Amino acid sequence: MSEILFHYYRVNPTTWFYLSSLLALTVFFKFNRVWSIRNVDLAGLILFAPGLLAVEYGGFKANADAQHLGFIWLFVITGLFTIRMLCDSMMVRRPLLEPNLTSGGLIFLGLSLLVFLLANVLTSRPDRDDLAASTTAAKLETGEAEVDATQLARLGPGYPLLFLLPHISTQRIFSADSGSQTGGDAAAPPPRIVHETTARVMAILSQLLIVSGMVFVGWRHFENTGLGIAAAVLYLLLPYTAIMTGRVDHALPGALVVWAIAAYRRPAIAGGLIGLAIGVIYYPVFLLPLWCSFYWERGVRRFTTGVTATLAALVIGLWFTSPSLDVFAGQLQQMFGWIFPSEVSLEGFWSFPAYDPVFRLPVLAAFLVMMATLAMWPSPKHLGTLMSCTAAVLLGSQFWKAHNGGLFLAWFLPVLLLVVFRPNLENRVALRVLDEDWFIHRRRRQQGVGSEA
């Protein structure tokens, strides 16, 4: 950007936390209704940032206490929002609270933020830490390293080809020294150049899909484009978005879930998008009971068909890209998370000596109970409860996620923001807005013809 804008310097994430928080309060805080739930939500969204900054500071300075405090901070805010999402369906009165800026001003602000955020993705270079996971995945793919449960546990569940992409860190509290920087593109091997370029393109497309999906939901399902624009602008303003703009493993699942909600009137498409999210990062598999219960009265067959077809396509893709049967079996195990919780290599909160990993198992059990409960209650579900329960499940997965759980805010943040801004949606139930399955409709037509005869 310095080649285009004279003396442009990237904003430090700590400085951006102060500036963006003030700007978010200016645009979205309701000064005439200080104790409204919108203001409480806004404060909670801003409070995610101190935890993220503490985790990065502790990791760079090798300060375990600061990093530990950061994860605890994130878990506390995540827990509060989990409760908020679980209680959302009980909030009957949802007054329309417009932002303090016109729609034209919001569009201009959002486009400006998007340009600068995506420019950071294009101009950032991954360092050694960013390349560590992709290097390990490349060795597993080519067979240079043995594919065993220990190495798969170190990478975590997800689509193996996704792990080939390096992390693009767009903002850091501290600049990496010259020894940790990667060389220029000319000095890098061709596969790494391809992987870096692919990571940048996928990160940019994922962020564009998140923003456009939120606007589409506001226009199509909220019947108020301004609400979708407001949610998208607030997403772009949050410090987390600036820090993790280039992380494909963060943004891509969030984009798929948002567009699954946008396409909820097309169960096969929604199922395909949820299936793709499951194949990409595994954890959205826990959304299946919830979404099946939403479509249970109508559309569940089309939804499950979409999920199954997408997962089958991803497995076929692995088969054609695997150099050997052993590698294919290991990658299939990684894609579907076939690893016992006790065998996972822990990173983040659960790796600290103060916490025995065995305590992660009761947390996982409580999460499964919550998941099963949301599949049964409330019934029937409308679009509003589908969104809030989806956000609750994705929030809950952060508590037991073995690899840096609590940091993957983009999985639930776009849906959570849509819940914050949504109007009443009680009439958006599957039985009312979906057409009958084709073969059921055909059977009824045949029965009608037979009775007339």
Given a contact cutoff of 8 angstroms between Cβ atoms, the answer to whether 241 and 117 are in contact is yes
Peptide bond into 362 cis (omega under 30): no
Tokens, residue 373:
């409960």
Tokens, residue 194:
């391809």
Tokens, residue 279:
């194949």
- DSSP bridge pairs for 300: none
Residue 347 φ/ψ, nearest 5 degrees = -135, 145
Mean of all residue pLDDT scores within the chain: 86
Q: How many Cβ atoms are within 10 Å of 66's Cβ, its own excluded?
A: 17
pLDDT band at 178 (very low <50, low <70, confident <90, very high): very low
Residue 296 φ/ψ, nearest 5 degrees = -60, -40
- DSSP bridge pairs for 403: 347
The span from the CA of 441 to the CA of 447, in Å, is 10
Average of per-residue pLDDT across 182-193: 58
pLDDT tens-digit readout, 389-411: 999 999 999 999 988 999 999 99
The span from the CA of 418 to the CA of 412, in Å, is 10
How far, rounded to the nearest angstrom, does the alpha carbon of residue 79 sit from its chain's CA centroid?
Answer: 17
Given a contact cutoff of 8 angstroms between Cβ atoms, the answer to whether 271 and 303 are in contact is yes
Location of structure tokens 């198992």? 361
Given a contact cutoff of 8 angstroms between Cβ atoms, the answer to whether 281 and 256 are in contact is no
The region of weakest confidence among 43-47, 120-124, 207-211, 435-439 is 435-439
The span from the CA of 210 to the CA of 130, in Å, is 23
pLDDT tens-digit readout, 214-234: 999 999 999 999 999 999 999
Location of structure tokens 């806004």? 42
Task: Enter the pTM of the model.
Answer: 0.90
pLDDT on residue 137: 56
- DSSP bridge pairs for 429: 382
Q: Spell out the residues 6+ positions from residue 408 whose beta carbon is closer than 8 angstroms to its own.
A: 249, 250, 398, 401
The region of weakest confidence among 32-36, 202-206, 261-265 is 32-36
The span from the CA of 209 to the CA of 202, in Å, is 10
pLDDT on residue 156: 79
CA end-to-end span of the chain = 75
Position 196 pLDDT exceeds 80: yes
Q: Spell out the residues 6+ positions from residue 418 whose beta carbon is closer than 8 angstroms to its own.
A: 214, 217, 218, 228, 231, 258, 261, 387
pLDDT on residue 186: 47
pLDDT on residue 139: 54
Query: Which value, in Å, is the radius of gyration of the alpha carbons in the chain?
Result: 23
pLDDT band at 324 (very low <50, low <70, confident <90, very high): confident
The span from the CA of 419 to the CA of 386, in Å, is 10
DSSP 335-358: HTT-S-GGGSPPBSGGGSTTS-GG
Please report, to the nearest 10 degrees, the dihedral formed by the alpha carbons of residues 303, 305, 306, 310 taken in order. 150
Tell me how long the chain is.
453
Average of per-residue pLDDT across 309-314: 96
Amino acid (one-letter) located at 243:
I
pLDDT band at 188 (very low <50, low <70, confident <90, very high): low
Amino acid (one-letter) located at 92:
V
The span from the CA of 70 to the CA of 56, in Å, is 9
Amino acid (one-letter) located at 420:
V
Position 443 pLDDT exceeds 60: no
Given a contact cutoff of 8 angstroms between Cβ atoms, the answer to whether 141 and 164 are in contact is yes
Q: Which residue has the higher pLDDT, 123 or 18?
A: 18
Percent of the chain with pLDDT over 70: 85
Given a contact cutoff of 8 angstroms between Cβ atoms, the answer to whether 262 and 213 are in contact is yes
Given a contact cutoff of 8 angstroms between Cβ atoms, the answer to whether 164 and 133 are in contact is no
Tokens, residue 112:
């400006």
The span from the CA of 23 to the CA of 46, in Å, is 11
pLDDT on residue 440: 57
The span from the CA of 256 to the CA of 270, in Å, is 9
Query: Could you say which DSSP state residue 423 is in?
Result: -
The span from the CA of 234 to the CA of 236, in Å, is 5
